[in-house]
Structure 1
């Protein structure tokens, strides 16, 4: 049995005492002891310190003076707070102190309860072993270096057991419903637990905060299979699949569940230069892809932001700056390698597993983890890129005019509109657009109508490379994404931007329920692909519209009233998880076909946390998923 041993000390009374305490703690760290607990409550038998440093000040000083040892501070023993007691701390202040120390010394702060057990001063191996049965670190009150040396000798002699791989702080934050010790050997060194120093860098995504119980970061398809085997043993937990972590609707983070982060599967290679065939890992970002393809004079349309990961976008759709000229991102997929729910690695294309290939292009999050995509890139030279800022007192008319110009523009021109709530009767419109042409006169001709339907206040038009537009996205640093809270959004496809839609959209924006409103122009090459070619069936709309607000229920109520104007929705941008959204995203024949494919490739519903396509024939059926699995195995 492994027993973690630490020391308990009282906060010092003077600066001189603090220096002695730091020397003592440094010796404990060098000797391999696991934990130092600071505070009178933990240090039973330690002399009363009297006035001086408080426990939190001492803990911060220890953190700055050491590098490894875990640190604990007991919680207050009283439930109330007496404002007349100068030594007392309100719970909110104590919580903030913990949070601050956790940021300053990531992965080293042990939760107070139940973070450790305290042995009597001078405890020997039998007492340590008895207390260590609970699996918590055992701390022994000390007041001198000699007492630390005694404990160090016990650890060296093996009486207290060998040191575990993770610190006391990390082990104290493990969730009881996750079998951390049962993690596959291939993933042990790359898994991140809540108490690890790097944990904060993997909790959040671009717009969403989270607190997953375990993040797995496979480096190969075989390790993805191992991660899914672990996930199948934890079907009681949420499961998120993450590539770049930019999904608005996706659940690439969660609270208390598992996340499989495929960010390390990010290789980009040319498979066949004559066919412009490239193989790309799901963890690459479109910024990286654009830079790699530009050297060949190629590009792949990929939304409007280069920081987005390949995996999420390429299994959902990909409506971007080149879509009206070259089609959606998924229209360029020629094959995928997928790790299925049962761990098998299969290839899907028009000739291999064609039903899976059909489903992955538009509903991929439900069928497996794509570990490699093969795309046919387009030849793209210099492009015109524009950012225009316009203002108008007549938002309704401006929306109508934008709709008319954008939907009738040549297919080499794609312009998106973003606006928000009018301020003092004036609306600010941000236009982001691209003209797939290297001719300045053509670019000016295409963009001029967009600059004239409202008051032009600012403009930036450049002749550039597609990679340079994608490179405008900021790189994610080692501390990860910084999203927080839960995004609230609704999405739809708009067959045409009618006068009635413009009127109702303007009213919605004036109501204050929406702070972000975007129209992405479609048409052109998007409509060239038959509606039944893949799971993404919405080929004829003129626009895709997204709105974002602060309250999901209020936004749902307002957006539901837009049903007469719209048709379907784009899953990537919708956070409404009501079952009917699935029927909006996929027409009835498409959804029924997807359910049949789901029963074949994921009958146990492992991939269930991102607009789940239930494997049962009828989503409202009372039959359990287990019953469906038994039926499928019997066939």
Structure 2
């Protein structure tokens, strides 16, 4: 007979969802996994977050009881949901407040979605770089990294976090910034959720000035489809193009196998700013990188790139992703990338331009280790073929410097070791021993 859960504290009784609740199917899943938790807490305030943590911690002292935190439910590793444990859902803690418009200081709760953030900040001509999808939650991205479509201009999302509120496993509340518990503040920016639950963040947003009356936060998005036969030559030309261009440019490629030994390349180039002569010249150069089969170009507001996405998440996404961070793509690695495209279960190989503002920070600025990386190589396959994908990706994995943990479906211990450099991992391990010595927060990537 299954053991019943202890009685809930009064603060949680009205926000708890059990399997028999009609709301259960709407709150138990991540985009990549259908969870089977014993209980979901739809927290509305910090008191409920604290009480949920301490309640779960007491159960965990005597039994296996997974504890997950979900903000947007978009995380590739699917650790925001679990089976037979508790999911702490922060989606109701979604307030976005501009503290100082002129200085660009913004307070955002962890459960907000980035599409809502972009829309809210548009009126004040403020912008915070986020991920590629509007339904990504603030909390998961803002403790892990954050590679957005304006990354080379803005840097990582975590690079603009200037404060945060953390609830640790003992229920203590920590107000963090460069002056208050600076080492722990360093750790939550890139260390993930292994020290506690960050309930809100203080960001330094970009203040945009423009002469364009049509767009408050203008950007130009260029899409190009190439058909190529020389992958190495193409990637060399692409790398040189974006590296020698303005930091206002960010570029993302998706490679797939084409007909007759060709490779198709779907390209999205993002220019952060107005469509100036410089922008037109840089984007025109992209048309000479390979054989162009289709192209478009459109100007829009940054917020318009992120549609209002509040769809139900049901765990049906079949993608499995791996990645590695590199400084270049030599010919041998280009040859290995071509091999990745051969199997029928492949969704594509993604190349993402890094560098720019991301690389301006020192390696120890926060807990993101790999500041010299200039390209991310990501491999997307059907999750039913994950084991074969791991084998195929191994030569590229060994060449890379490390990985972006939030962009990987691989939850193995070996993968966790790739998320941080040895020096960064050593600092994080010391923090773990101080703030979570009983290893309560184990569902996330952990040193």
Q: 1:203 aligns with which of 28, 34, 53?
A: 28
Q: Deviations over 1:287-343 (max 9, x none)?
A: 111111111111011122222110000100111111111211111111001111111
Please give the alpha-carbon distance, in whole angstroms, between the structure 1 residues aligned to 2:3 and 2:403.
36
Partner of 2:158: 330
CA shift for structure 1 position 271 = 1.4
The answer to whether the Cα contact below 8 Å between 1:435 and 1:446 also exists between their aligned partners in 2 is no
Q: 1:567 aligns with which of 401, 407, 432?
A: 401
CA shift for structure 1 position 500 = 2.2
Q: 2:119 aligns with which of 276, 291, 299?
A: 291
Q: 1:585 aligns with which of 400, 419, 437?
A: 419
Report the more deviating stretch, 447-456 or 224-233: 447-456
The answer to whether the Cα contact below 8 Å between 1:362 and 1:534 also exists between their aligned partners in 2 is yes
Please give the alpha-carbon distance, in whole angstroms, between the structure 1 residues aligned to 2:40 and 2:377.
33
Q: 1:261 aligns with which of 89, 102, 122?
A: 89
Partner of 1:445: 281
Partner of 2:189: 361
Partner of 2:226: 390
Q: Does 1:493 align with 2:335?
A: no
Secondary structure of the corresponding residue to residue 481 of structure 1: coil
CA shift for structure 1 position 440 = 4.3
1:599–1:308 Cα change, 3 Å: same
Partner of 1:610: 444
Unaligned runs of 5+ in 2: 209-216
Q: Does 1:532 align with 2:364?
A: yes
Secondary structure of the corresponding residue to residue 34 of structure 2: coil
What TM-score comes out, normalization by structure 1 length? 0.66
1:548–1:177 Cα change, 3 Å: farther
Please give the alpha-carbon distance, in whole angstroms, between the structure 2 residues aligned to 1:205 and 1:451.
39
Please give the alpha-carbon distance, in whole angstroms, between the structure 1 residues aligned to 2:36 and 2:227.
41
Q: Deviations over 1:363-395 (max 9, x none)?
A: 131011111100010023311122322233444
The answer to whether the Cα contact below 8 Å between 1:513 and 1:555 also exists between their aligned partners in 2 is no
Secondary structure of the corresponding residue to residue 242 of structure 2: helix
Partner of 2:2: 176
Partner of 2:297: 461
The answer to whether the Cα contact below 8 Å between 1:497 and 1:542 also exists between their aligned partners in 2 is no
Partner of 2:389: 555
The answer to whether the Cα contact below 8 Å between 2:192 and 2:444 also exists between their aligned partners in 1 is no
Partner of 1:28: none
1:232–1:330 Cα change, 3 Å: same
Partner of 1:401: 237
1:377–1:424 Cα change, 3 Å: same
Report the more deviating stretch, 446-455 or 320-329: 446-455
Q: 2:73 aligns with which of 228, 242, 245?
A: 245
Secondary structure of the corresponding residue to residue 501 of structure 1: helix
Greater Rg by CA: 1
1:489–1:191 Cα change, 3 Å: same
CA shift for structure 1 position 396 = 4.3
Secondary structure of the corresponding residue to residue 352 of structure 1: coil
Partner of 1:277: 105
1:555–1:323 Cα change, 3 Å: same
Partner of 1:348: 176
1:433–1:303 Cα change, 3 Å: farther
The answer to whether the Cα contact below 8 Å between 1:396 and 1:506 also exists between their aligned partners in 2 is no
Q: How many residues align?
A: 434
Q: Does 1:503 align with 2:331?
A: no
Q: Deviations over 1:525-565 (max 9, x none)?
A: 11111001111111111111211223222222222222443
CA shift for structure 1 position 250 = 4.2
Q: Deviations over 1:385-430 (max 9, x none)?
A: 2232223344444333323323332211001111234455343322
Q: Deviations over 1:194-229 (max 9, x none)?
A: 121111111222233322221111100110001101
CA shift for structure 1 position 583 = 2.2
1:302–1:485 Cα change, 3 Å: closer
1:408–1:223 Cα change, 3 Å: same
Secondary structure of the corresponding residue to residue 388 of structure 1: strand
Please give the alpha-carbon distance, in whole angstroms, between the structure 2 residues aligned to 1:612 and 1:564.
21
Q: Deviations over 1:220-269 (max 9, x none)?
A: 01100011012113321222110001010240112222111111111000
The answer to whether the Cα contact below 8 Å between 2:403 and 2:419 also exists between their aligned partners in 1 is yes
Unaligned runs of 5+ in 1: 1-174, 614-635
The root-mean-square deviation of aligned C-alpha atoms, in Å, is 1.9
1:451–1:237 Cα change, 3 Å: farther
Partner of 1:224: 49
Please give the alpha-carbon distance, in whole angstroms, between the structure 1 residues aligned to 2:388 and 2:4.
36
Please give the alpha-carbon distance, in whole angstroms, between the structure 2 residues aligned to 1:446 and 1:412.
10
